[in-house]
Structure 1
Amino acid sequence: MFSRTCLAFANETPSDQANLDRVCCWISFGGNVGDVKATFDAALALLSLHCHIQLGQRSGLYTTAPMGSSAGRPFINSVCELTTKLSPLRLLNVLQCVENQLGRVRDIRWGPRTLDLDILTYGQYVHDEPDLIVPHPALTYRRFVLDPLAEVATDWRHPVSEMSARQLVARLEPRPLRVALPEISPSQLDKLSGQLRTRFPEVKLVHADVEQSDVLRVRTSSPATEGERAVIDLRRSPGDLLEQLTSTLTAALDAPQRLSDW
């Protein structure tokens, strides 16, 4: 159960949201410590207690490669639909409260974890602030959320690109996977290509002036321009550029394996 403080906060109804319409959201679940399925079930039970959250359909459970050198063993991932009258930031606070209640420890960024709950989308809302980016900035290239989403959210479209989950997955499937980095110099691009070639032979880094529609464009410091499709946003990723790209390409190239229904 929630602690008294957490449960009281979760069911708080601020006056500024009392008249909000319900919004359909997609939330990702991930974990690789302990009995992950039992933790997911406990998280759903806690979320169902909230008076402004209604749970919807959810995908099966998928096993996925760990992302980052400190992530530990493979993860289990899934996605769940919910509707809520909470604002995006208040929903985020509730999700973090559930994580904490179920043993989440934030001592290593992208480290092993009992439970990771992320807001993937909040209706058609687009928000880019230090505390929260919606849609999730990694949604366009992380197979461990796109594949579960494609399983159940057949009518879903990305709020910015208007692409379906299956279309976003399809962009990651051509080989070689062509990735453009418009914010680095050609010499730095050549160096990165050499560093990544052994681990990711199916990836080809290309120069920024390449405009083909099948090229995934990477942003390292500036936000995507309006209408830029399936951009890879590294602005909040930990580590140097080589570590960021290694983690990103792992998530983009790994094809999750479906374990079971949830």
Structure 2
Amino acid sequence: MILLSLGSNLPSKFGDSKNTILKCYEFFNNNDIKILKKSSFYETFAIPNKLDPKFVNSVISVETRFSPEELIKYILKVEEKFDRKREQINAPRTCDIDIVDFNSEIINIFNKNISLEIPHPRLEQRSFVLYPIREIDKNWKSPLSGKKIDQLIENLDAETKKNITII
């Protein structure tokens, strides 16, 4: 299973954060990539600065002929279409797309052309990824620990669980 996380906490030329993600979906339904399932939209505080605008997040499962390297290059081009700026770590952004899972593989590629770490090292602490994944596959297991999705959500701290809303 290939899972992508989409997030936004700034409006784009396509509208507010939710409409931006809806527009993003269109770039993942083509000859190279097909959306199989979509989660609901979730709203959370920005990490690490809760004073930044709230994030809207969603997860999609996709099918693709792309390798992980080809997929991340495609994702970066999609983010560019939404005027994604990478000037500061954790800064507000119009569009943030991550490869959450690529067929349960652990992938680390760091060279002059690409920086790719799948899954994200903090995946298991991120409610805005875990709750949407559970909607898509109730039996999903983390490639990092092998833990089931329900166990990962149960292990989230109370504050994290409290600060996520389905919208």
**TM-score of the pair, normalised by structure 2:** 0.87
Greater Cα shift, 154-163 or 86-95: 154-163
Detail structure 1 runs of 4+ shifted over 3 Å in the superposition: 252-255
CA contact (8 A) 1:71 1:112 kept: no
Please give the per-residue CA displacement for 1:126-166, whole angstroms capped at 9, x wherever unaligned: 11233111122111111111111112221211123221221
Partner of 2:164: 256
Aligned partners of 1:27 and 1:46: how far apart in 2?
Answer: 12
CA contact (8 A) 2:139 2:149 kept: no
Please give the per-residue CA displacement for 1:51-75, whole angstroms capped at 9, x wherever unaligned: 2211111111111011123872111
Q: CA deviation at 1:97?
A: 0.7
Instruction: Name stretches of at least 5 consecutive residues in structure 2 with no aligned partner.
Output: none
- 1:137 corresponds to 2:45: no
Count the aligned residue pairs.
Answer: 159
CA contact (8 A) 2:83 2:94 kept: yes
Partner of 1:171: 155
Instruction: Name stretches of at least 5 consecutive residues in structure 1 with no aligned partner.
Output: 1-23, 176-249
Partner of 2:71: 91
Output the amino acid matched with 1:45.
E
CA contact (8 A) 1:64 1:254 kept: no
Q: CA deviation at 1:169?
A: 0.9
Partner of 2:22: 41
Q: RMSD in angstroms over aligned alpha carbons?
A: 1.9
- 1:64 corresponds to 2:44: yes
Aligned partners of 1:255 and 1:58: how far apart in 2?
Answer: 21
Residue 47 of structure 1: SS of its match in structure 2?
coil
Please give the per-residue CA displacement for 1:16-37, whole angstroms capped at 9, x wherever unaligned: xxxxxxxx21100110111112
- 1:27 corresponds to 2:7: no
Aligned partners of 1:257 and 1:126: how far apart in 2?
Answer: 29
Residue 7 of structure 2: SS of its match in structure 1?
strand
**TM-score of the pair, normalised by structure 1:** 0.57
Aligned partners of 1:57 and 1:253: how far apart in 2?
Answer: 23
Aligned partners of 1:256 and 1:148: how far apart in 2?
Answer: 11
Aligned partners of 2:51 and 2:84: how far apart in 1?
Answer: 14
Q: CA deviation at 1:111?
A: 0.6
Partner of 1:108: 88
Aligned partners of 1:141 and 1:54: how far apart in 2?
Answer: 28
Partner of 2:146: 162
Partner of 1:125: 105
Partner of 1:146: 130
CA contact (8 A) 2:61 2:136 kept: no
| Larger gyration radius, structure 1 or structure 2 | 1
